[in-house]
Amino acid sequence: MKCPQCGQWNRASMPVCQKCGARLEIGREQDFAWKERLHDDRHGSEYYRMDDDGYSDATQDERDTLAEEMAELKTRKAEGIQRQRRLRRSSADRGIAPSGMTIRTNQAAQAYWATQEAPRAAAADALQDAQEATPNPDSAAAAEERGPVPGVRMVGARVETTRAASAGGSRTAVRYTSAPITDVSPAQAFAQEPEMWDTSRNWDPLWAEQEAYGTRWQQKNAHDIEVLPGRKKAMRRFLRTLAVLIVLALVGLTGFFGYHYYQDRKAEEREQNRATVVASMLDDLAAHTVMIPGEDGAQIYIRELHTSYIVADGFATVQVADHTWYDNLEDLTDPSMEVTLTPFLKTASGRQQPLEPITYTIDIPVSPIRLITPDGNRVEVASAMYTMKFEVRPGSKVYINDREISDTINNETGEISYNATIQPIGDNVFTLRCRSQYCRETRMTITVYREPQEIPLDLAADTYTSTSLKAMLVNCTTLPGASVEVRSPYSDLNITNLDSTGAFSFYALFEEIGNNIIEINASYPGKKTSHIEYTVYYLPPEMEYSKKAWPLSADGYSELVGNMTVRAARHQVYVVMGTLQYFISEKPQLAVFNSSEDGQGQPVVVENFTKITWEKGKWYRIYADAEGMYNGMPRLNGRFTHTD
C-alpha cells in the first residue's frame, strides 16, 4: 500500500513504511475488505434431477451464478472509481499531474489557457470563475483567498479579462498580471476543485488555437491585446493537408495500376481463350490452320464450312484452303481479302452456343501469264494481221477484248496464239484477261500501232502466219481503181477485179527457212501511198528438211566455222547431237551444246524454234540451219528436236 506521509509504496503486509517509518494500519480494513467479498457464502437456487432408477442429482442454476458475478463487478467498478479519485487527489497534493490529461506549457512570461474542445464555453467558464474568485480586482488578498483558477497561470494579485471578436464568435481570455509571480500548477488546481476538470479535454495555450478563431494575440502593454501569428497551427494544418494529399495520391496510383493490372489479366485470359490462326499448305495450295480452344470431346460447328470438329488435346483443329473463299467470285482483282469463321459450341442438350468469330486475312495469288510475242506491251506493225502468243496455266479461262479464246490453249504447254486484225487507225488496243484455278484474275493491255492509211490495203483474215509450202496464195483488198505493187517474191498476180471491187491475189514465194516478209504497196492519185508488211514462217516438212542435213563431225565442224558466211546465206542444214551444257538465254531458249562424239568439244550455239522445251543436262538430236557466229562458236536455228 501507499504511505500517507511520504507516498512510498510498501507491501500490504508491512506494518510501517520502509522510508519514513509511519504506521500503515490506517484504512487497512477498508483497503482489504474486498478480499473478504471474494468468498461468496450465499447459495443460489439448486435444481434436483432424478432418473428412472431413483437416483437424484442437485445442480446450481447457472443464471444465478452469472447474476451474482455481474452485481459484484458493478460494485467493484464503483469502488475503483472512488479509489482512483483518492489517488489523483493524493498525487495532486504532492504536485504530480493527474493521469489521463495532456498539459502543455508556454515558456513566455505570461500564458493564456483554454481547451481545444468548445474553447468559447471554456473561456466563459474561466471568466466566471475568475470574477467569483476576485470580487475586487485590485485586491490580491481576495485572489489568494479563492485560489488559482484551474488551468490558468497565476502571475500576480490582479486579474484582468479580455474579450476578442473573431470569425468563430466571441472569445474570452483570462490573465493575472503584476508581480510577484507565483506559478500554480494544474495539478494543484485539480486537487482543490477536481470537478471543474474535464479529463477528455486536451489543454493547450490560447495561441495554439488562435488560427481556428481568426485571432492573433500580442501584448503591447498591461491593458492592450493584439493578434499573434499561429505558425505552429498553420504548420500542423499544412502537414495534415500534405499527408492527405499523399494518401490520396497513393490511393489513386494504386487504383490506376490495379485497374491496368486487371485489364492486362483480362486481356491475357481473352488471348488464351482466343483461337490461333497460322498459315499452312493443303494439297500443295495455300491454306490456314485454325485452332479453337475447348474441352476435350466437345463438338464445334463451323457455319461457313457446314462441318463439325471434335476438340482433342484442348483444341479443335480446322484447316481451310484459301481458295475456298473466292472460287465462286467473279471479277476478283483484289490481292487479299478478310474472311470470317463463325464457330458454335454444341452443348449436351443439342443447343449451339455461339463463340467469338474468327477473322483473318488471306492472300490471293495472281493468275500466271507470260507474254511471248510481242516483247512488250506496245508494238508497231505495217501489216493487217499480227500474231500474239501467250503462255498461261492449262485449264485457264482467257479473254481478248471480252472474246473467250480458252479453246485454243495447248493443254500440255499452256501456249496460246491469237491472230489479231490490225486496223490502219493508229493504236489498236487489246485487253487480255486470264483467270486460272485458285487464282485471281490477271489483266494485261497490249497496244499494236499501225499507221493510218488514206488508201485502205489489207490482207484476207484467213491468211496463214506459218506454212510448209514453198508458195502460198495471198488474197488482198484495196481502194477500187488503185494501183498495187508486190515488192516481195511472188508469182501469178491477179488484178482482174481491182478496178471494180479492189480485190487482187498472188502467190508468195518463200526463199528463206524461217520468217519471210510479204510487202505490198497501193497508190492512188492525190492520196498517200499505203504500205503493208506481213510475216510468214516457212519451214519445209521434216522429211524434206532433214534430207539436206550435214553431220557435224570433226571435219564438218571445222568446215562450218571456216565457211560460216556462205553456209548461212544458203541456210545449210546440220544435225546437232549432244548434251545441253548451259543456257545463254531463257527467252527465247539459246543454249550451248557439245557436238563432239565424246561430248567434250565442238561447242555449238542453237536457238530453239521447235515445240519442245529444252532442259539443261539432257541429250538431244536437233536439225538446225546455219545462222552465223556467236562468241567464236557457230550459231544455228533448231527446227526439229528429238530426244532419242
What's 381's domain CATH number? Answer: 2.60.40.10
Domain count, the chain: 7
pLDDT-derived band at 225 (thresholds 50, 70, 90) equals very low
Q: Is residue 520 part of a domain?
A: yes
Q: Please answer whether residues 398 and 409 qualify as being in contact, where contact means their C-beta atoms are separated by less than 8 angstroms.
A: yes
Q: Is residue 406 part of a domain?
A: yes
pLDDT-derived band at 107 (thresholds 50, 70, 90) equals very low
Q: CB within 8 A of 320, min separation 6: which ones?
A: 282, 287, 288, 290, 305, 341
> From CA 204, how far away is CA 103, in angstroms rounded?
7
Q: Is residue 598 part of a domain?
A: yes
| Model confidence pLDDT, tens digit, residues 232-288 | 788 888 888 999 999 999 988 888 888 888 887 777 766 666 788 888 888 888 899
Chain-centroid distance of CA 167 in Å reads: 59
Query: Is residue 385 located within the same domain as residue 415?
Result: yes
> From CA 81, how far away is CA 71, in angstroms rounded?
16
What per-residue confidence (pLDDT) applies to 182? 41
Look up cell 561447242; give the residue: 603
Which residue type sits at 310? Answer: I
Q: What percent of the chain has pLDDT over 70?
A: 72
Query: Is residue 491 located within the same domain as residue 519?
Result: yes
Distances (CA, A) of 257 to 164, 243, 265, 372, 507: 52, 21, 12, 66, 95
Q: Which residue has the higher pLDDT, 192 or 277?
A: 277
* 122-149 mean pLDDT: 48
Query: Is residue 441 located within the same domain as residue 464?
Result: no
Query: Is residue 219 located within the same domain as residue 299?
Result: no
Q: Which residue has the higher pLDDT, 597 or 133?
A: 597
Q: Is residue 102 part of a domain?
A: no
Query: Is residue 286 located within the same domain as residue 341?
Result: yes
> From CA 502, how far away is CA 492, in angstroms rounded?
17
Task: Cell numbers for 283, please give them.
Answer: 494439297
Give the domain-ending residue among 386, 415, 450: 450
| Model confidence pLDDT, tens digit, residues 15-53 | 788 888 888 765 544 455 555 555 555 555 666 666 666
What per-residue confidence (pLDDT) applies to 306? 87
Give the domain-ending residue among 328, 344, 363: 363
pLDDT-derived band at 493 (thresholds 50, 70, 90) equals very high
| Model confidence pLDDT, tens digit, residues 136-147 | 444 444 444 444
* 222-233 mean pLDDT: 52
CATH number at residue 614: 2.40.50.140
| Model confidence pLDDT, tens digit, residues 506-534 | 999 998 888 899 999 999 999 999 888 88
Query: Is residue 413 located within the same domain as residue 351?
Result: no
Evaluated on CA atoms 638, 639, 643, 644, the torsion sign reads negative
Q: Is residue 252 part of a domain?
A: no
> From CA 176, how far away is CA 143, in angstroms rounded?
10
| Model confidence pLDDT, tens digit, residues 373-424 | 888 899 988 777 788 988 999 889 999 998 999 888 888 888 898 888 888 8
Query: Is residue 141 located within the same domain as residue 183?
Result: yes
| Model confidence pLDDT, tens digit, residues 72-90 | 999 999 999 999 988 888 8
Q: CB within 8 A of 514, min separation 6: which ones?
A: 537, 538, 539, 609, 625, 637
Query: Is residue 118 located within the same domain as residue 223?
Result: yes
What is the span of the domain harbouring residue 519?
A: 457-538
| Model confidence pLDDT, tens digit, residues 344-368 | 988 777 788 888 899 999 999 999 9
Q: Is residue 586 part of a domain?
A: yes
What per-residue confidence (pLDDT) applies to 606? 93
Query: Is residue 335 located within the same domain as residue 390?
Result: no
Q: Is residue 467 part of a domain?
A: yes
Query: Is residue 527 located within the same domain as residue 548?
Result: no
pLDDT higher than 90, residue 431: yes
Which residue type sits at 130? Answer: A
Q: Is residue 245 part of a domain?
A: no
Q: Please answer whether residues 575 and 622 qualify as being in contact, where contact means their C-beta atoms are separated by less than 8 angstroms.
A: yes
* 525-551 mean pLDDT: 89
Kindly report the average pLDDT of the chain as a whole number.
77
Query: Is residue 439 located within the same domain as residue 474?
Result: no
Give the domain-ending residue among 450, 481, 510: 450
Query: Is residue 612 located within the same domain as residue 559?
Result: yes
What per-residue confidence (pLDDT) applies to 36? 55
